[in-house]
Chains A and B, each alone.
Chain A
Amino acid sequence: MKISSIIPIVAALPIGAWSQTVPSPVPQDEVFSREEIGHALAPPTPEAGRTAASSANAPADDGQWTMPSKNYASTRFSSLTEITTGNVKTLTPDFTFSLAVNKGQEAAPIVADNTLYVVTAYPNLVYALDLTRPGAPLKWKFAPKPAPASQGVACCDVVNRGGSVSNGKYIFNTLDGQTIALDVKTGKPLWRTQLGNFVKGETITMAPLVANGRVYVGNAGGEMGVRGWIIALDENTGKLVWRAYDTGPDAEVLIGADFKPHYTEDQGKDLGVKTWPPEAWKIGGGNVWGWITYDPELNTVYHGTGNPGPWNNAQRPGDNKWTAGLFARDPASGSAHWYYQYSPHDEHDYDGVNEQILLDMPFAGKMQKVLIHPDRNGYVYVIERTTGTVLSADPYGPVNSTKGVDLQSGKPIINPAKQTKLGETVRNICPTASGAKDWNPSSFSPQTGLIYIPHENMCMDWMSMEVNYISGTPYVGANVHMKPGPGGNRGELTAWDPVQRRPAWTVKENFPLWSSTMVTAGDIVFYGTMDGWFKAVSARTGDLLWRYKVDSGIISQPVSYRGPDGHQYIAVLSGVGGWSGAVVSGPVDPRDGSAALGMVNAMSDLPKYTTAGGTLYVFSLPH
């Protein structure tokens, strides 16, 4: 194996001198090509139909944006057409609003009934702005006052991924483990429910999914030895309906007679206990900190599960069910329909929590109900969602930790050269721990049939170490140093054709893409970069059409809405941070490459490009 040289740091410089250097990129010949490792059960049959979300999952656009994913299908597609590829170059800020919090802002602004709602990073302030009046003045502000100590157990900045409006309530989570429903008229809590225990390292950073009279919430804490769960609350009372754990006995995972997993590896009793060393499942992670998706058409809830803990895999031999996989559950009872494990016995921190996009897509000569999921492990999965059968799995970023997915067994083909080792540094593992892509969701346009995947191009060096479980402290056991992937660009926007299983076009970015994408019927893809550019590119070619420099890097979720004046608006939060931006917004020193779980090694130059911030920007055409 060729080992790329790491530029040594000159440590003897006086304090305050700039001595950090981003490591050299991993050589191209270290990773596999798409042709080498991409697999599908059948060749493309585009003539069988046009890819689209069903009308049940993506109803006609009312010009609002009431949930982060826009609709149940999670397309993040706005059918508004006032802003076009021809006129977008005149897009200008309409108003801005300071969030008063300079930590990573990952939330989607929410628009309902001519009011814009936004929740900030810790301390999770909620603002409601009146869009009917000039300058969108504040209607109300709510401060939930989460426990300050919860900041110390949040693995990767104190972020929040947004709330939702449903039936006169704005529903969101707090870092210290509460779900709160506010009256949209007054900003007063209708109910608040404590779900997590931050004292043992449990936090909540995800956006709750509100659907069918229930609020679905999951916990974070996979780096703290926290056992993962998903909870359904009654939307009107906040009372618990059901809770399913993602490790442990079947009775607690809500696996029963209805459980029909497609692959033999997932069939058997109490695998959530038997695939772990004794008792290890109790502190084994599998957290639900990403996206939960509701499918009204099939009356199913889908959710991913996070990485197993600790990162040091030598302390947990076995497949570590049900971590790093995907559950389909009954919304009313929580009982599992099926499960698929993206990364059995994960040894690279490849959480399975990224978005699920629900589409009808031509495959093997007929239209099929699929779930599309770009995973941390580097593959974009097309899964037949009634049975949990993988139809295709193709790499969309740099991959060498596995050599493709065996579609008969469903298992990734492990590359022994990139397996992590105790006490020994394994170099140039791709993708990196934060994945070929992290939490930030893709979008889908029915007009182009493409999925716009905002992602990373990063790899890492990894040394596993023994770690003790101490409640409320990190349970990791790995010394990680990240680095750019082949080519040196740390980020990339890929317009992925799921039918042809190849990119239509790509845009390279210097920094990892940590914002979601949003696509409009004007054939424009919007996204932000960590150095603070908000960009509009053609949905058909990727050509840059417009960009605007905001006050701080963007790691949030852009949205589009129709204002009370009938015009189309684009809203986005600035505010760099998150795992990748901790070197700017966090208490982190760029001289330690292993800081922020190894991310700092690849991001030590970010402070040259941006500073911490937190602002809502709203754009429109001049009118």
Chain B
Amino acid sequence: MFSRFPIEMAALAVLLAAGCQKGPQSGQPAEQANRQGIIDSALSPGVDHSLVSGDPRAAAYYNNADAVNAGKHLFQQYNCSGCHSNGGGGMGPSLMDDEWIYGSRLEQIHQTLVEGRPNGMPAWGGKVPDEQLWQLAVYVRSMSLPQTLAAQQGDTPSQSPAPVPPEADQDAGWSPPPATTNDYTSTTKGPN
């Protein structure tokens, strides 16, 4: 895994450099505002909406099938499944939808695991090795990938988790679980 790290870092550096060279486009008020030093709110905890994670530690876990599968096993071992089932939730929220209360990027998920969250998510920082927290984070991120959902057989999801591409950390936006009470966007058919 660590042998892959420099390669990922190199890719990240190229991407970031490309972004810088592109520069602000004229005629876009937000970009102009940025240039004048006004801060945009991202309405998402912790970070802005740049293409890939800002935490360099995350890079090793993109496109990393081993990490996703390791996370899948840890998810059972640390009783994550007790609250989140196989991704569908229960005592804790669903992780297989595309609603991310505290952000969907690897570093945000990792941060949630480290710090815990106020409505009952325990804090695991210092209790679980950090590498395992990253592996768990990348498995959690994989649960809602279209490839992972497509691989679901029967009614037990997240059993064939797809590796997470760096593009997955592009702004995931917000939408509630499909066909549930909070789903204001998709269509739920009535009983007949």
Within B76-95, the residues touching A (CB, 8 Å) are 76-79, 82-83, 85-94
Asked if B129 is at the interface (CB within 8 A of a chain A CB), the reply is no
Contact of B83 among A20, A473, A584 (CB under 8 A): A473
Q: Is there a chain B Cβ closer than 8 Å to A595's Cβ?
A: yes
* Interface: A476 (CB within 8 A): yes
**CA separation between A149 and B97, bound complex, in Å?**
22
B151 to chain A: which residues have CB within 8 Å? Answer: 11
**Beta-carbon contact of A586 and B152 below 8 Å:** no
CB of A587 within 8 A of CB of B178, answer no
Contact digits for A556-593, partner B, Cβ 8 Å, 1 yes 0 no: 00000000000000000000000000111111111111
Q: Are A9 and B94 in contact (CB under 8 A)?
A: no
B97: chain A residues at CB < 8 Å are 15, 589
Q: Tell me the complex Cα distance, A596–B180, Å.
A: 14
B119/A16 in contact, CB under 8 A: no
- Secondary structure dominating the interface of B: loop
**Residues of A close to B157: CB separation below 8 A:** 11, 591-592
Contact with A along B27-42 (1 / 0, CB 8 A): 0000000000000000
A32 at the interface (CB under 8 A from B): no
Indicate if the CB atoms of A588 and B190 lie closer than 8 Å: no
Residue from B121, B188, B189 in contact with A152 in the complex, judged by beta carbons closer than 8 Å: B121
At the interface, yes or no: A474 with Cβ under 8 Å from chain B? yes
Is the Cβ of A591 less than 8 Å from the Cβ of B96? yes
Structural contact, B89 and A584, CB atoms closer than 8 A: no
Query: B191 at interface (Cβ–Cβ under 8 A)?
Result: yes
In the complex, which residues of chain A have a beta carbon less than 8 angstroms from the beta carbon of B186? Answer: 15-17
Q: Give 1 or 0 for each of A595-614: 1 = CB within 8 Å of chain B CB.
A: 11100110001011101100
Chain B residues, CB < 8 A from A100: none
Known A-B contacts A16-B187, A608-B188; the reply to A479 vs B120 at CB < 8 A is no
Q: A611 to B120, Cβ gap below 8 A?
A: no
B155 contacts chain A at the CB level, 8 A cutoff: yes
| A470–B78 CB distance below 8 A | yes
In this assembly, does A468 line the interface, its C-beta being within 8 Å of a C-beta of chain B? yes
- Of A474, A590, A609, A612, the residue contacting B88 (CB under 8 A) is A590
Q: CA of A477 to CA of B135 in the docked complex: distance in angstroms?
A: 22
Q: Are A607 and B91 in contact (CB under 8 A)?
A: no
Q: Are B178 and A17 in contact (CB under 8 A)?
A: yes
Chain A CB within 8 A of B24 CB: no
Whose C-beta in chain A lies nearest to the C-beta of B189?
Answer: A18
Known: A465-B76, A481-B155, A587-B92. A592 touches B83 (CB 8 A): no
- Asked if A607 and B88 sit within 8 Å, CB to CB, the answer is no
Q: Residue of B at shortest CB range from A150?
A: B120
> What chain B residues lie within 8 Å of A223 (beta carbons)?
82
